[in-house]
Amino acid sequence: MSDKEIRDIDKRIDKERIREKDIDTLKVIESVFDYQTSMFVVKLMNKGIINEIGFCVSTGKEANVYHCYGPDNTELAMKIYRTTTAEFKRNWMYVEGDPRFKSYKKGTYSFIYTWARKEFKNLKRMKEADVRVPEPVFVLKNILVMEFIGKNQDAAPLLREVKLRKPNKVYSEILEYLTKLYERGRMVHADLSEYNILYFKKQPIIIDVSQAVLLDHPHAAVFLYRDIHNINRYFTSLRVETLTDEELYEQITDSPPSPKVKAIEF
Instruction: Please check whether residue 192 is in contact with residue 234, taking contact to mean a CB–CB distance below 8 angstroms.
Output: no
Q: Which is nearer to Mg ion, 206 or 228 (CB)?
A: 206
Amino acid letter for position 69: Y
- Judged by beta carbon distances under 5 to 8 A according to partner kind, the member of Mg ion, ligand ATP, none in contact with residue 150 is ligand ATP
Active site members: 191, 208
Q: Which is nearer to ligand ATP, 114 or 242 (CB)?
A: 114
Residue 261: CB minimum distance to ligand ATP, A: 25
Residue 1: CB minimum distance to ligand ATP, A: 51
Q: Which is nearer to ligand ATP, 98 or 208 (CB)?
A: 208
- Judged by beta carbon distances under 5 to 8 A according to partner kind, the member of Mg ion, ligand ATP, none in contact with residue 155 is ligand ATP
Residue 13: CB minimum distance to ligand ATP, A: 39
- Judged by beta carbon distances under 5 to 8 A according to partner kind, the member of Mg ion, ligand ATP, none in contact with residue 65 is ligand ATP
Q: Which residue sits closest to ligand ATP, CB atoms considered? A: 60
Residues near ligand ATP (CB under 6 A) are 57-58, 60-63, 65, 77, 79, 134, 146-150, 155-156, 158, 196, 207-208
Q: Which is nearer to ligand ATP, 95 or 155 (CB)?
A: 155
- Judged by beta carbon distances under 5 to 8 A according to partner kind, the member of ligand ATP, Mg ion, none in contact with residue 105 is none
Distance CA 82, CA 228 (A): 29
Q: Which is nearer to ligand ATP, 77 or 228 (CB)?
A: 77
Residue 142: CB minimum distance to ligand ATP, A: 12
